[in-house]
Structure formats: structure tokens, C-alpha cells
Chain A
Amino acid sequence: MKRKLLGVLLSTTMVAGMIAGCGSNSSAPATEAPAAEESASTEEAAAEETTEEASTEEAAEDATEETTEVAADEGKVLNIYAWNEEFKSRLTDHYKGYEEVDATHGKIGDVDVVWNITPSTDNAYQNNLDETLLKQADAADDDKIDLFLVEADYALKYVDTDYTMPMADLGITDADLSDQYTYTQSIVTDSNGKLKGSSWQACSAGLIYNREAAKEVLGTDDPDEVQAAVADWDKYVETAKKAEEAGYTMCSVNDTYRTYSNNVSGKWVQDGKLVIDDNLMNWVNDSKELVDAKAENTYDLWGDDWAKGKTPDGKIFCYFGPAWFFNFCLDADQDGTIANQGGWGYCVGPQSYFWGGTWICAATGTDNAGLVKDIILTMTTDKDVLKEIAQKDADCVNSKAVLAELASDDSGNLTLLGGQNPYAQLAEGAEKVDLSNLSAYDQGCNEEFQKAAKNYFEGNATLDEAMDMFKKAVVEKYPEVTAE
């Protein structure tokens, strides 16, 4: 999706990574492993290490026990699977002890970190991950996946299998994760109620509007007043038509899709049958009305036509997006974009929803459980690190306390939003997200539903034809699912 842009670049680095990934030195002295590991870990652990070193024989006995245990367990190579550079840059910037070696390699102490980055275009990331995970049990320790990243759309596909490790087995307790938003945990909870992943992001999303357009259409660019104008779908449609009269396009139908699809009343597949939720039909009907009125367009997300709205010439009223959209998608560092001039505003929009987000999962069979645990704890629960991430990368982090802190003063002001502090709204949105209706079929179904509906919007098919097309596509993708 957003990762498409990096595709070409990453595939080259991936090949290099795969070739270089094989070399490792397993004959290094065993004692070095725990020392290096702990230096990269929390202060608490570091203090422990000091006591160990300066200890009496009695204490040394305990320490030796621990040392041998860790040394026997821990491998020298940490394999990380991801679909873009996002997590890598987070780790490079915010994880103490991580040294970058080259594009696909790093070092934490004497552990080699190997990045295996495959873009998610055409499902390539999942295909690659699937093949490697299926071979996980027979792979040599240094070739085993230790850590991999998943997106909400398909998290359950991995979480609901034995290929992911429960957080509890890593030694991460509920208390460690108590400051996180509930929805970020329900996404990665398997059907037995075991938590199997953790995220540093809370991707509550909202409506990012063009301040210039808002002034022209609504006479104000104040977030609260704009929010009032788009507070529910009826008002939204009204505003969209006003925007059309003023010469603006509200946004693409694909922008609003997530808002509807996150607020459904049931799962895509129930008892092996495909169910199209009423709220999705609302999306189809509302969107058709707006497309016919030329108030919305049907551009595909991330395409050239769609991206034009990032500049004033694009004449787009708004985008729908989460916090990662600010930093990742609005091209703030490019001259001439609205973001570059601080011309965007943020409000919650018609309904709370979330979009995307990256979860860290530990792969079953990992030989670096200690390091994996530390990475997960540092990156997703350490408040200092999370605040750093929010300020450096304009991200909405997964910590209620940190978001409250950011919202309370100027530390959360973003220049690309004209100095607006969106963290209060982001936090409010994150509280309201309900993801009980997520299923492993979400990515495939959402994708096909949008594609099929496009034919209806553009007048190439009747509603029934478009829905038939959708059902056909789902059955092709998921042969075990029936559709009427």
C-alpha cells in the first residue's frame, strides 16, 4: 500500500540481504552473548550486570546459571522480516545499542541483525513470510525468523497459528503492556485469548483537511468548526457537495472506505459464508451519490492521480488518514506541497476508525528470545522512547500516558498541520476504536470490495453485477469460503 513507493528500491536490497544473511559466526565466546545483550537492555538489567561482575562466589553461582542458560539459548543472528524500512528506522533511531552496518544489516552487541525486507505489493511480503515460516521448524537456528512485523489487515492470519509466540511465553506481562490501547491488543489476540504481538503505534485515524479549502468552503479552518461540518455522514455529504460547488473534490471514495469498514457489525466471513455488512452498503450508496455529483473521485490510493491532492493544484478538500499519514504520505519535505506550507488541519471526522499500524510478533522457535523480548519492551512500552518517536516521526504512539503528555503542552504541535496539536483528537479516537469484527479475511475482502465497487461507481456495472464480481473474486482468493 503506502509501501509501494519503496518497492523497487527494497527488492534490490532484499536480494543482497538474502545472500549476505547466511554468514554468521557461531564460534564466538559464549560469555560475550549475555554481556552484549544486557548492555543493550534496560538500566535495571545493566545494574544487575554490574553486580554480577563485582560479586562474591555465592552470587557468581547464580550468575553462571543465568549466563549458561542465556548463552545456550541465544543465537548470534537476529532475523527480522518486514515490508518496509519503517521499523528499521525506528530501531536505528530509538533503540540504544543498535548499530547500523549497511542497508540490510545491523548489530546489537555481538548479535548480527539481518533485515529481510520484501515489499507488500502483490502480496509478496506475505508469500515470502509464509514460505519461510512453514520451513521454520527445520531451519538452522541462525536462519530462523526471530521477529516479524504484521499489519492489522492480516495479523490474525499469523496470530491465530502456532507460528507466533505468546507474549507471556517471552516473559512480557500484562502489567508491562497496561498503558497500551485495548484495540491494539485485541488485533493480535488469538482465539484462545493469548496476546501474541505488540505495537508502538496507535493508528487512530481521522480527517486531514486542506485549510485553504476549508476557509473557502466553510469560511473557517478551525478544527472544531470543521469537525462540526463533518460530524456525521449526512453532514459530511452536505459539506462534500458544498466543496464541489466551490471547485474542490472532497476526496477519493477509497479514502472514506476504512471509516465505514471499521464500523461494521459483523465479520466478513461467518460460518464459512461471505457476509456483506450493511455499513459497507452504506459506503457504496453514499459514495455513489457523491461520485455522481462529482464531489468525490474514484482514484486508487497511492496512485499518481490520487497523490495530486497533496499539492494546492490538486484541489482536494481532505484525506482520511492516521498519524503515520502525516509523516509518511504527505511529502512534507517537498517544496510546493500543502504539508510543506503547513496547510493541513486535523479533526476526527464522521466516525472514529483506525488504519494500518505495525505489530511486532515473535516467531515460534526463535533462538533470541531474550533480545526479542527486550526489543518489544523497549520499542512498545518505554515511555521515553515512545515520546521520542512521536516527536521525531509525528507518529501516534501506543501509550495513553505519552499521548496525554503530548496533548497537554506544545510538545505535540506539528508544523505540517499549521502548528495544530492533534494528539488530543488522536487519543480520543484511539479510545473509541472497536475491532471485535476483524478477521483473517480482511485484507483480501476489503481489497476486492473496493475494486468491485469501483465498477459500479464508474457506471460500468450495476450494483448487482459489481457485488457478483466481488463474490467471485473472494471465492477465487479463499476457496474454502462460499458466497451464496
Chain B
Amino acid sequence: MKKKSKVVSYNKWGYIFLIPFVVVYLVFQMIPLVSTVYNSFFENYRSGLTQIGPNFVGLKNYITIITNGDLPTYFKNTMIMWVMGFVPQIVLSLLLGAWFTDPSLKLKAQGFFKTVIYMPNLIMASAFSMLFFTLFANSGPINSLLIQLGIFKEAYQFMSHVWSVRSLVAFMNCVMWFGNTTILLMAGMMGIDPSLFEAAQVDGATATQIFYKITLPLLKPILIFVMITSLIGGLQMFDVPQILTNGTGDPVRSSMTLIMYLNKHLFSKNYGLAGALSVFMFIITGILSLIVFKFTASPEKK
């Protein structure tokens, strides 16, 4: 009896501390998710001021999306622009991360550089792409510079060519996010036991060998995290291409992303079709994340 009363149970605190998360999760994640799935089974849109539906139509919305064949196109666009932005971004971030965490380099003014590379992320994506839209306009500063330097005879229409638009979107994404990625990777790199580096140096390893044989393998968990979050962010790419192409995804919708397509349905408040599209996106995101996770994590288990 006496013994029992002295034991204080901290169990309830665990649950109490979990309440905020659970509430936020329910309100902002679970309920929207369920209602999206629910909405996707209805024909529900507005024509002018007249509301059509909601009428239960079963899987018709899903069938519409599969049969009109747009989904793969926009998925492909999204992935192309994501890869084009992600590859240079991860290379740049690894390089910067390695430099910043390497004590033997004794880099000066690190705080300044770390702040500067993070800056682009603070600018609103829409403002950023508005800036690029103006910079790369036919009569914009970039074109007049290129003409005055004699590189082009007449203005290059950046917004009228498939690859120039995609490159601009990728470039903007890269610039906006490399600072963030660098900081994540640096956190990972600084978590590696310094004695490993010292041991390697004593054994006569070069800087390149240390990077590939020690830093990279031990950085794997963080790399996986960066890959997955960036992939999910990439799939949700919207504001940069939306503003840059004025919502059209032109030329010929070659830079239209999945979310821009989703946004198109909001013009007529088409909750049914938009819901079905969101469910597809949810599935795609899940599958891709699983692939990335399996692919990068499996060799470690050996």
C-alpha cells in the first residue's frame, strides 16, 4: 500500500501533451482528407450562379480523369520541372554544406553567407515569379542586355518556348530552396562524430575520399528526408509556374502542374472533379514517397 502510493504515474501527461497535435491533425488534416474523398463521389459544380448537384455519381469523376488522359501529362510536367530544379539544388547544397561544416577550411563570415543563401526562401514565391516574369519579358532587362551584348539579334521570347519556361521554373525553385536544403544537410553533417573524420585523416584519406566514404553514407537518413520532403513539395508545385505563365501553363500547357490543373476546376467550384483529382494526387504522393524511401533505405539493412 505504502509502496504503491509513492509511485507517481506520468502516463496521463503523455496523453495531455498529445491533445494539441491530435486536435490540429483532426481539424486540419483528417477532416479535409475525408471530406475530399467524400466530395469526389459527387457531381457538384456551379454554372454561373446556378448550383448543379451535389448528385451522387459513384466513380464517374475518377473515370473522367483517367480517360481524358491529362493526368499523366501534367504529372510528367511536374516531375520534369522538379527534377530540373532538384538535381542542381542538392549538388549545390551538398557542396555548400560540406564547406560550411569543414573545420579545416576556417571559412570567415559564415553567419553572413548562411543568412544570404536562405534569403530567397523568405520572398513570396508569387513575388519572386512576378519578378522573373518582368525580367524575362520580351522588352525586359534580360533581353535588352543580351541584345546589347550582341548575343541575340532580337528579343528571345522566353515565355513562348517549352524549355525556357520549364528552365525558369526549375531555376526559381532551385534558388528558393537550396538554402533550406543546405541548412538541413549541415545539420546532418554536424551530427556525424568528428572522430570518424579525424581517424580517416590519420589514415591518410583525401578530402574527396572522406566526403564519399564517410560523409555521404552517414548522411543518408537526412538525404532521404530531404528527398521525400522535396518530392512532396515538388508535386505540389503551383505558385511559381502559375504566376510565371499567367495561369495557362503555356506553351501548350507544357509547364502546367498537377495543382495548376486542380486550380482550373475551382473556376466553376467543381468540387467533385477536384476531389477526385486530389485523391489521385494523394495516391501518387504516397507511392512516390514509398519508392524513394525503399530505394534509398534498403542497402543499409544488409
Contacts and interface: CB of A to CB of B under 8 A. Distances in A.
Interface of A: 122-123, 130, 133-134, 157-158, 160-161, 163, 298-300, 303-305, 308, 440, 444, 451, 454-455, 458, 460-461, 465-466, 469, 472-473, 476-480
Given A130-B49, A473-B264, A478-B47, A304 B140 contact: yes
Given A455-B250, A476-B264, A134 B45 contact: no
Contacts of B268: 476-479
Interface string B21-65: 000000000000000000000000111111010000000000000
Interface stretch (B116-124, B131-139, B174-182, B183-191): B131-139
A440 B251 CA distance: 28
B264 A465 contact: no
Nearest to B160: A458
Pairs of residues from A and B, 6 with the lowest C-beta to C-beta distance, nearest first? A460-B251, A157-B48, A458-B160, A476-B264, A305-B138, A461-B252
Contacts of A480: 45, 47, 52
B246 interface: yes
Contact of B157 (A122, A303, A440, A458): A458
A166 B200 CA distance: 87
A454 B245 CA distance: 13
Contact of A305 (B46, B137, B161, B265): B137
Most chain B CB within 10 A, of A163, A298, A305, A473, is at A305
Contacts of B220: none
Contact of B250 (A130, A133, A451): A451
Contacts of B68: 472
B267 A465 contact: no
B242 to A, nearest CB: 10
A58 to B, nearest CB: 48
Given A134-B49, A479-B52, 7 more contacts: A133-B49, A157-B48, A157-B49, A473-B264, A476-B267, A476-B268, A479-B270
Contacts of A300: 246
B84 interface: no
Given A440-B48, A460-B160, A123 B267 contact: yes
B27 to A, nearest CB: 23
B253 interface: yes
B88 interface: no
A88 to B, nearest CB: 25
B94 interface: no
B169 interface: no
Contacts of A303: 137
A455 B270 CA distance: 27
Nearest to A154: B48
Given A305-B137, A305-B138, A472 B70 contact: yes
Contact of A476 (B48, B157, B265): B265
Contacts of B142: none
Contacts of A473: 264
Contacts of A458: 157, 160, 251
Given A440-B48, A478-B268, A454 B70 contact: no
Nearest to B265: A476
Nearest to A160: B48
Contacts of A466: 252
Most chain A CB within 10 A, of B48, B139, B247, is at B48
Interface string B134-151: 100111100000000000
A160 B48 CA distance: 10
Contacts of B248: 451
Contact of B139 (A308, A469, A479): A308
B278 to A, nearest CB: 15
A133 B48 CA distance: 12
A158 B49 contact: yes
A308 B143 CA distance: 15
Contacts of A133: 49
B38 to A, nearest CB: 19
A158 B160 CA distance: 36
Nearest to B51: A134
B273 interface: yes
24 contacts: A122-B247, A133-B49, A157-B48, A158-B49, A163-B49, A303-B137, A304-B139, A304-B140, A305-B137, A305-B138, A308-B139, A444-B267, A454-B250, A455-B251, A455-B252, A458-B251, A461-B251, A461-B252, A465-B252, A472-B70, A473-B264, A478-B47, A479-B268, A479-B273
A469 B253 contact: yes
B218 interface: no
A299 B137 CA distance: 10
B45 A460 contact: no
B72 to A, nearest CB: 14
Contact of B134 (A163, A299, A304, A479): A304
Contacts of A451: 248, 250
Contacts of A305: 137-139
Contacts of B138: 299, 305
B162 interface: yes
A447 to B, nearest CB: 10
Nearest to A451: B248
Contact of A161 (B49, B52, B134, B162): B49
A151 to B, nearest CB: 14
B262 to A, nearest CB: 10
